Amino acid sequence: MAGKTAHTPIRSCKSCRKKLAKNQLQRWVLENNEPVHDENQNMSARGAYVCSDDCYNNIKASLPRMLTRRRV
């Protein structure tokens, strides 16, 4: 495969809105109401992406609310 552009999904950081390739972001999911770092980005739970530890700290407090939207 010699393609120049690997097809990588782009996600934006939940804190600073910077857009980066998914694999350059940290994915966090909620497990039993606790934020868990989804290192392999393959957990089925709803996830939030951040670009850095700082950004994670910025959204940490609102993460549970962000990830537990009511389903109708």
CB of 20 to Zn ion, least distance (A): 8
Q: What is the DSSP letter of 23?
A: G
- Distance CA(52)–CA(69), nearest Å, equals 24
User: Could you give the CA distance from residue 20 to residue 9 in angstroms, rounded to a whole number?
Assistant: 8
Residue nearer to Zn ion on the CB measure, 33 or 59? 59
| Binding to Zn ion in span 3-62, by CB under 5 A | 13, 15-16, 51, 55
- Least distance between Zn ion and beta carbon 70 (Å): 26
Compute CA 44 distance to the chain's CA centroid, rounded to the nearest angstrom.
12
Binding residues for Zn ion, rule: CB under 5 A, are: 13, 15-16, 51, 55
